[in-house]
Structure 1
Amino acid sequence: MSGEPIKPRSGDAVSAQAGGAVPQAGMSTTEDIAAFVAKAQAMSPHAPGAKGRLIFALDATMSRQPTWDMACALQADMFRETAALGSLDIRLVYYRGFNECRATGWISDSNRLAALMSKIDCRGGDTQIGKVLTEARREAVASGVRAVVFVGDAMEEKVDELCAKAGELGMLKVPVFLFQEGHDAVAEQAFREIARLTGGAWCRFDPGAAAQLRELLRAAAAYAAGGREALLKLAKTASGAARLIGQMK
């Protein structure tokens, strides 16, 4: 894809799509967890004046093309929402096809993000939410992340493994906001648990409901740029923000 894909680090296991693929990670030891928590706390993105950083993750499997197009049209709203709160950087992460999971570099311009997204087509394949959570953990330690947004409609992985990764993000104080399209019960159960473990929130939106998704994305962006106070302020006038803040710890 165009943009700045992640390059695997030496020693990392990677997916079949090596160039720009998101590295996979095994289970962490107690010492590993303690080390990355300590490092992340030392460079907390929640410190006053810190730049807001949001990972925007999307399921780009074949069934998702209509929602991908909708998210592409709505992503600029996230930047606009944060204009009065401070700057926002977004890292797009997506998976599709056979074992392909990719990410852009950090982007601070909505036009650039839209241009990148417009070049990506959806392809059939299984979900790879575990890789999204692994990438979020890596970035939380490497450069600081305030929040993760995930938009999808299915979950086809081992839920216990996803929960272990979610628990690590929770220790890093990185909430995951999961926005589910449709009514898949298996996905809902997993998404709710990931949200609980990270201190984030789960919300459903109706298929093709651009207005509902817009409100949710605006709320997540407000949190990423201005923290809990910004989300509380937005919740007074926006239903999407109220839905998020009502679930967050």
Structure 2
Amino acid sequence: MSRQPMKPPVDTSAPPAARGGALPNSRVSPSEEIAAFVAKARAMSPHAPGARGRLVFALDATMSRQPTWDMACSLQAEMFREAAALGSLDIRLVYYRGMNECRASGWISEPAKLATLMAKIDCRGGNTQIGKVLSEARRDAVASGVRAVVFVGDAMEEPADELCVKAGELGLLKVPMFLFQEGYDATAEATFREIARLTGGAWCRFDPGAAAQLRELLRAAAAYAAGGRDALQRLSRTDGGAARLLGQMK
């Protein structure tokens, strides 16, 4: 089966010169750099009237995730359908698998295209790479504007403090992260809850193989990405998933 190539995220661990950027001015203080970074990101806010909603849809595609990956393939159209009633939505798929593979698609505006892309991806054994997901989401937030990040996974095998630093950067950019955890891994839960807090998002658990639970959560995240907090508020009156997210968000 042929596979659609996907451009891997830029390696942000390399020095600025190696990535083609100019070296920073040593006379600029760290606080000034942070202030300039936040001001630039907010000036590119995706929440302006008429802006297309953009959602980063990140998935753990390691071997233990195969059943839920297949389930997510069948449910991803729910996000587009929910967003269609509110405006428009572009989704960028980010996934990791294997020993060191983390890939991101372009922006997708059609559910059929996203479904086709996901169907070509199989799960492979390896460790989690959530840090790369957070870095990719931050780049997207600065470059093109992102309203929300969804992450679906069941484990966390990275230094929690490093992930929380990156989550804090998303929080400064006003990009909430919705973490949907499958199962009951206590280490993952503790870190996912903290990432949600730092970004102003939400953490929710769903039972293994529970399609109805995941469907509600994905629809709620799409409603927020397409229509903001007001849209999530309206949906929460009839949808349990939206109420769960809204109850945690700042």
Instruction: Please say whether Structure 1 and Structure 2 have the same fold, judged by a TM-score greater than 0.5.
Output: yes
Match of 1:24 in 2: none
Structure 1 residue 49 corresponds to structure 2 residue 46 = no
Following superposition of structure 1 onto structure 2, how do residues 39-188 of structure 1 map, counting pairs within 5 Å? 39-188=40-189
Match of 2:219 in 1: 218
Deviation per residue, 1:166-213 (Å, 9 max, x gap): 000000000000000000000000000000000000000000000000
SS at match of 1:49: coil
Structure 1 residue 5 corresponds to structure 2 residue 22 = no
Match of 1:20 in 2: none
Q: What residue ranges of structure 2 are gaps of 5+ in the alignment?
A: 16-29
**Conserved 8 A contact 1:3-1:116:** no
Letter in 1 for 2:4: S
Residues 59/36 of structure 1: CA separation in 2 closer, same or farther (3 Å cut): same
SS at match of 1:179: strand
Deviation per residue, 1:116-155 (Å, 9 max, x gap): 0000000000000000000000000000000000000000
Distance 1:134 1:37 in 2: 16
- Per-residue deviation, 1:40: 1.1
Distance 1:128 1:7 in 2: 12
Distance 2:58 2:233 in 1: 24
Deviation per residue, 1:201-237 (Å, 9 max, x gap): 0000000000000000000000000000000000000
Deviation per residue, 1:71-127 (Å, 9 max, x gap): 000000000001121110000000000111000000000000000000000000000
Distance 2:126 2:33 in 1: 32
Distance 2:168 2:104 in 1: 22
Structure 1 residue 189 corresponds to structure 2 residue 190 = yes
Match of 1:17 in 2: none
**Conserved 8 A contact 1:147-1:220:** yes
Distance 1:99 1:31 in 2: 35
SS at match of 1:104: strand
SS at match of 1:193: helix
SS at match of 2:134: helix
**Conserved 8 A contact 1:3-1:105:** no
**Conserved 8 A contact 1:154-1:187:** yes
**Conserved 8 A contact 2:9-2:104:** no
> Which runs of structure 1 show a deviation greater than 6 angstroms over 4 or more consecutive aligned residues?
none
Match of 1:240 in 2: 241
Match of 1:207 in 2: 208
Count of residue pairs brought into register by the alignment = 234
- Per-residue deviation, 1:31: 4.5
State which structure, 1 or 2, has the greater radius of gyration over its C-alpha atoms: 2
Letter in 1 for 2:145: G
Residues 30/119 of structure 1: CA separation in 2 closer, same or farther (3 Å cut): farther
Residue identity (%): 79
SS at match of 1:148: strand
Q: What residue ranges of structure 1 are gaps of 5+ in the alignment?
A: 15-28
Aligned Cα RMSD in Å? Answer: 1.6
Letter in 2 for 1:164: V
Deviation per residue, 1:5-37 (Å, 9 max, x gap): 24648x8649xxxxxxxxxxxxxx545433331
Match of 1:25 in 2: none
Distance 1:118 1:146 in 2: 26
